[in-house]
Structure 1
Amino acid sequence: MDVEIRVKRIYDEAAADDGLRVLVERLWPRGMSKERAAVHLWLREIAPSVQLRRWFGHDPSRWTEFRRRYRRELDAREEAVELILERCGRSAVTLLYSARDRERNSAVVLGEYLAERKSRRAGARPERSPIEAQAHKRKP
Structure 2
Amino acid sequence: MSVRVRRIYEPPEPDDGVRVLVDRLWPRGLSKADARVDEWPKGLTPSNELRRWFHDGGSYEEFTRRYEAELDAPEAVELLGGLRESASKGQVTLLTASKSPDESHATVLARLLTAQA
TM-score range, shorter-chain basis? over 0.9
Distance 1:89-1:109 versus aligned 2 partners, 3 A rule: same
Q: 1:44-55, aligned counterparts within 5 Å? A: 44-55=42-53
Amino acid at match of 1:52: L
Q: Which has the higher contact order (CA 8 A, sep 6+)?
A: 2
Structure 2 residue ranges without an equivalent (≥5): none
Give the secondary-structure state (helix, strand or coil) at the position aligned to 2:20: strand
For normalisation by structure 2, the TM-score amounts to: 0.92
Q: Percent identity?
A: 43
Structure 1 residue ranges without an equivalent (≥5): 119-140
Q: 1:7 Cα deviation (Å)?
A: 0.4
- Greater Rg over alpha carbons, structure: 1
Amino acid at match of 1:82: G
Give the corresponding residue for 2:66: 69
Give the corresponding residue for 1:103: 102
Superposed CA RMSD in Å reads 1.2
> How many residue pairs align between the two structures?
115
Q: 1:73 Cα deviation (Å)?
A: 1.1
| Distance in 2 separating the partners of 1:80 and 1:5 | 15
For normalisation by structure 1, the TM-score amounts to: 0.78
| Distance in 1 separating the partners of 2:72 and 2:84 | 13
